[in-house]
Amino acid sequence: MSLSISVVIPAWREAEAIEGAVRAALGVGDEVLVVDAGSPDGTAERARGAGARVIEAPRGRGPQLDAGARAARGDVLLFLHADARLPPAARGAVLEALAAPEVLGGNFLLRFEPASPGARVLGWLNDARRRRLRIYYGDSALFLRRDAYARLGGFRPLPILEDHELIQRLERMGPTAYIRHVEVTASARRFEGALGRTVLVWVVVQGLYSLGVPAERLARLYRDIRRAPPA
């Protein structure tokens, strides 16, 4: 019996991107859920029009992701950012990875578009970090079995790094798959002209979190770093 897949997309003011995300995800998931936080720009209406099931949740990526997971009906939960796109081959790749019963979940190789030199550098860093350190984030289309998500207790309501915190627990629980022959694409526009600052954010925030600095304090630091002028 084939596993069913639920794609969960948290959204806040994503009217321009949400239709493309939903339509691409419909080629992969048996259902697509958009978890909107009351966006005033028509995000929910556009998602519904594109074919998603829309639910409401309090604003915050962690609470929205958890609400979507709890409402989902699939055997597999696939969490997707609104500015990311799943290729049709992602479905077969997920099912192939999870054909091994010991594999609990995993993620995809992430490519940023448009493909500027900076975007390629960020993609290479993401790939190297995943392969060597087993560190990855939700923008690379995290997926996991529903029962594994339940055993983990779901996403915690953190203001930042909610995906990384869940992934840490997932990696300790058992084997995961890194799908590198199928790419998920995400927008690189938020990094344009700020490659140095983006890498600085990754290094500082990740490093301090690893040293035990609470996510609540890091959320304030994250905002400060992003406001800093480019190096």
Mean pLDDT by 10 residues, the chain (231 residues): 94 96 97 97 98 96 96 98 96 98 98 86 91 93 98 92 95 98 87 66 78 80 48 36
Q: What's residue 214's pLDDT?
A: 81
Q: What's residue 196's pLDDT?
A: 65
Say if domain 5-107+136-177 classifies as CATH 3.40.50.2020. Answer: no
User: Which residue ranges make up each domain of the chain?
Assistant: 5-107+136-177, 193-231
Q: Which amino acid is at 30?
A: D
- Determine contact, residues 231/196, Cβ cutoff 8 Å: yes
Measured in degrees and rounded to the nearest 5, phi and psi for residue 42 equal 85, 15
Compute the distance between CA of residue 57 and CA of residue 68 in angstroms, rounded to an integer: 8
Q: What's residue 224's pLDDT?
A: 44
DSSP string covering 34-81, please? Answer: EEE---TTSHHHHHHHHT-EEEE--SSHHHHHHHHHHH--SSEEEE--
- Determine contact, residues 140/109, Cβ cutoff 8 Å: yes
Q: What's residue 116's pLDDT?
A: 82
